[in-house]
Structure 1
């Protein structure tokens, strides 16, 4: 996901997206433990996507004050 795409979404949509990605990360970690994860890089990418979204949410909070 690109930051430019994420900035077009509303704050509520971003918060929903974070919840979805956290669930996905949990499942990826579980798959990794049992050995059925095909790409280990998915974990890293999902964590980065979560951080990117949280950064955008925080930027919006700071600009609205």
Structure 2
């Protein structure tokens, strides 16, 4: 997932994406705790993707706030 794909989505779609990434992150942490996780890099990727989504959401919110003024 790259930032360009995220900029094309609506805020509602971004919130849904963020919820699914958080759920995925939880599942990966659970797998790691039980010793079932094979690729530990997936945790980092999920965390970074969630951060990307949050960044784009904040940028869209800031843009909407400046447009409203």
Give your verdict on TM over 0.5. yes
- In the alignment, which residue of structure 2 is the partner of 1:33? 33
Q: TM-score, normalised by structure 2?
A: 0.92
Runs of 4+ with >4 A deviation: none
- Unpaired runs of 5+ residues, structure 1, are none
Q: TM-score, normalised by structure 1?
A: 0.97
- In the alignment, which residue of structure 2 is the partner of 1:6? 6
Structure ID, larger Rg = 2
Q: Aligned partners of 1:5, 1:63: CA distance in 2, in Å?
A: 18
Asked if residue 58 in structure 1 is aligned to residue 53 in structure 2, the reply is no
- Unpaired runs of 5+ residues, structure 2, are none
